[in-house]
Amino acid sequence: MSISSDHKHLGKQVTGILHTLSPIVELNVGGEMYTTTLSTLKKHPGSKLAEMFTGQPKLRTDSEGRFFIDRPGTYFKYILEYLRSNQVPTQCIQDVYKEALFYDIEPLIKQLEDSPEIFGELVARKQFLARVPNYSENIELMIRIARAEAVASRQSSVIVCVVRTEEDAARCQDALNSLDMDKKSVVKFGPWKAVPSISDLLDCIQMDVEAKGYKISFQPHIAEKGFRFKSHDFFYKFLFTWW
């Protein structure tokens, strides 16, 4: 039998296996090995996971013939447990949610979005941050400034101005002009129309920068004398520690 014939024969065998009632399926998910049934993987027909195992196989196999999925294998066990028993995971919620989105398992996505952790992130925190102009862009700007000042230093600092109202923004303008004249980079957040306070936004900034792998802290920034207000009400120094 030729090599070409061997491949065709193997393809027919694999396809036949997938069409057999409740066959055993071996998976290699990011290096983690799992064994389950085809019916479990296809439990939710509209999902991307079910689509992977519908009709002609759409996945590569590893050297042992296991179907390979290039995703974090650690969290697939929670996906599999849900498919087997409808048990919604209570651990690693954020990571499992990302995997549920990838595999497009709609019932699991909805149940996870009802959990306090995901609900709080999607409905409370992210909805607040959506009301803060240029929030994501300012986070990236902070990181660029900090990295630019990191040469031969253990720490680098970024001055942040946080104003909640238009009135606060007007009060800070003199200080911003002075810092600009001194060639000090300042990242300005706000104003915004939402309930959370300046303290809440500072916590969000720290949370999101740390989520990118940076070690940071912040403290009030005491501006030069001569300002007509307490500068530490609006100005903060974020410290990036590199080593």
Residue pair 191/164 in contact (Cβ under 8 Å)? The answer is yes
Residues 13, 68 share a domain: yes
Q: Residue 11: which CATH number? A: 3.30.710.10
Residue 124 lies in a domain: no
pLDDT in the model for residue 232: 58
Task: Decide which of 114 and 179 is more confident.
Answer: 114
Residues 109, 49 share a domain: yes
Residues 237, 176 share a domain: yes
- Measured CA to CA in angstroms, residue 6 lies from 9, 11, 18 at distances of 5, 9, 19
Residues 151, 108 share a domain: no
Residues 90, 171 share a domain: no
What digits encode the pLDDT tens for the residues 127-164?
A: 999 999 999 999 999 999 999 999 889 999 999 999 99
Residues 23, 85 share a domain: yes
Tokens of 184: 């000090």
Model's pTM, two decimal places?
0.68
- Domain total in the chain: 2
Residue 155 lies in a domain: yes
Q: Which residues contact residue 61 at a Cβ distance below 8 angstroms, ignoring those fewer than 6 apart?
A: 67, 68
What digits encode the pLDDT tens for the residues 211-224?
A: 999 999 999 987 65
Domain boundary among 84, 114, 144: 114
Strand (E) positions, the chain?
A: 24-29, 32-37, 60-61, 67-69, 155-162, 186-189, 215-220, 235-241
Residue 126 lies in a domain: no
Residues 25, 73 share a domain: yes
Domain of residue 180 covers 135-241
Domain boundary among 114, 145, 178: 114
